[in-house]
Structure 1
Amino acid sequence: MQTTKRTGPTNIIVRKTIRALKSAANRNNAPIWKYVAELIDRPRRLRVEVNLSKINRYTQSGDVVVVPGKVLGAGSIDHPVTVAALGFSRQAVEKIRAAGGKAVHILQLIEENPRGSRVKIII
């Protein structure tokens, strides 16, 4: 009987993001980044895909949100928020910017907010 070895993500950007999240968690004593890294380290078929309507429902103006997966453009958003994710659909980026918000990669958010203070995770 042969056992298969778990290999983890093969996408180099995803691997770099996971390493950066774990490093930021240890360096800044910020457990939120470790949790986000664990969510991203799952198999791709189990990663989250969040619609803008869900982000709109659970956020208020000026919130900072992390999506450990992809943001899709279904629904609308009516207030400015900063959304950090692994990926965005083109329509999602257009709608976020039209509402006055920002769409950034998770690595950029780690640089702006290394302690992860006042960040919401939407899964």
Structure 2
Amino acid sequence: MSRTGNPILDSNIHTLMQVHKKSSAKIWLSAIECLSRSNARRVLANVGKISRLTKDGDLVLVPGKVLGGGTIVHKVTVGAYSFSEKASWKIQKAGGKTLSLGGFVKKFPHGREVILVGG
């Protein structure tokens, strides 16, 4: 298991590894790889990018931080390592849901129909 020095990040990576072992979904390995990168190479995704890549009702995984740039008008469920306040507000205002990475993985462990953004 990767030791990043950040106990929250290590816990998320550990959770992803456990879910991958049970489901064998490759999306979780991709997410682990993204989270294990250095801070300078970590994934950043704007709300506008999520909006362009998704449609109403999609499940989105961002193995990094979601930022508030852009707009979104359809409902999506987004799981991410972290959210800016503005990004969380915009997603919820559009009727979507924001979940922590651990919460998202526990709610959708199969990994089917999950769109990986920024990976």
Fold similarity call, TM over 0.5: yes
Q: Which consecutive residues of structure 2, in runs of 5 or more, have no partner in the other structure?
A: none
Matching residue of 2:95: 100
Aligned length: 117
Matching residue of 1:44: 39
Which one of 53, 65, 70 corresponds to residue 75 of structure 1?
A: 70
- Structure 1 distance, partners of 2:6, 2:68, is 23
Q: Which consecutive residues of structure 1, in runs of 5 or more, have no partner in the other structure?
A: 1-6
Identity across matched positions, percent = 38
* Higher-Rg member (1/2): 1
Over 3 Å off, 4+ runs: none
Q: How high is the TM-score relative to the length of structure 1?
A: 0.91
Give the CA RMSD over aligned residues. 1.1
Partner SS, residue 37 of structure 1: helix
CA deviations 1:25-73 (Å, max 9, x no partner) are: 0111212111111110111110011111100100000000011110000
Partner SS, residue 92 of structure 1: helix
Structure 1 residue 56 corresponds to structure 2 residue 51 = yes
Matching residue of 2:112: 117
8 Å CA contact 1:79, 1:99 repeated in 2: yes
Q: How high is the TM-score relative to the length of structure 2?
A: 0.94
